[in-house]
Amino acid sequence: MIEARGASKVFNKRKRVVALENFDLHVADNEFVSIIGPSGCGKSTFLLLVAGLENLTSGKITCDSEAVKGPDPKRAIVFQEYLLFPWQTVRKNIEFGPKVNGVTAEERKKISDKYISLIGLEGFENQYPHELSGGMKQRVAIARALANRPDVLLMDEPFGALDALTREMLQAELLRVWQTTECTVLFVTHSISEAVFLSDRVVIMSNRPGRIISDIRIDLPRPRSRETIFLPEFKEYEKAMRKIIWSEVNLENS
């Protein structure tokens, strides 16, 4: 459903910062794919390219067989820094997407009601972002992205700014929310355990310019629960991925 072929991105024509080079990736419908890799390997750049917020230098990216030309609410993106609109309440933030896409006020209220209760923030509809905790803000950001009923949800280290406990809670929340929608998720992270816990597939990238050095199918049962991390298979996956990443890092140091 998402298809990247030979995707390349070069920043700053003079200095030629090659963020991504000849990147190929295929993501099927409704798959949850995590991309994990060292800092600077280009994973965030790839996400922005799929979102249409950056333009390819060469190669192509298609979503549902259509080339990605620019941003579109069907390819919603959630950032690490939440990027909620501070002058709007929780409800208005969630209604932003539908509003700019011409949905009537009545419909919008139904949509925001639905997502506010889905993310468990009833009672907070009229709070402003600065009055919310990090975990709450990220939930609003996710709801805001989902309010447009996207086909693809792009997440750029969304839980990176949160403390470890909130992070684990939101991972479970994300899966719960995702089960109620029908969308493909492309999830960028630094955390091996997070990737294993959440995904159907984990793609490991090398250092810049990133190439895929491993593409691992995670065959853990769904729906996943907090206890999933205790399964021996879980540890096996983590171990295998760690070894791959270590060998890549060693390559860099030697």
Chain residues in the site for another protein (CB under 8 A) = 51-53, 70-73, 75-77, 79, 81, 83, 85-89, 96-97, 99-101, 128, 130, 144-145, 148
How far apart are CB 148 and another protein at their closest, in Å?
Answer: 6
Q: Closest CB to another protein among 111 and 196?
A: 111
Q: Are 168 and 13 in contact (CB under 8 A)?
A: no
Q: Give residues with Cβ within 8 angstroms of 220, minimum separation 6.
A: 196, 228, 231, 233, 234, 237
| Nearer residue to another protein within complex by CB, 135 or 238 | 135
d(CA 216, CA 242): 12
Question: Tokens in use for 243?
Answer: 């070894």
What is the token pair recorded at 149? 């009923």
Give the nearer residue to another protein in terms of CB position, either 83 or 220: 83
Query: Closest separation between CB of residue 242 and another protein, Å?
Result: 32
Token readout for 175 is: 């899966």
Residue 244 C-beta: closest distance to another protein, Å: 32
Nearer CB in complex with another protein: 34/89: 89
Element counts in the chain: helices (H) and strands (E): 7, 10
Length of the chain: 254
Q: Which is nearer to another protein, 139 or 144 (CB)?
A: 144
Tokens read off for 240? 């295998």
Least Å distance, CB 110 to another protein, is 18
Smallest distance, another protein to C-beta of residue 234, A: 33
* Rounded CA separation 165/162 (Å): 8
Integer-rounded Cα Rg, in Å, for the chain is 18
d(CA 86, CA 185): 26
CB of residue 90 vs another protein: minimum separation in angstroms?
Answer: 12
Q: Which CB sits closer to another protein, 96 or 234?
A: 96
> Phi first, then psi: what are they for 205, rounded to 5°?
-105, 155
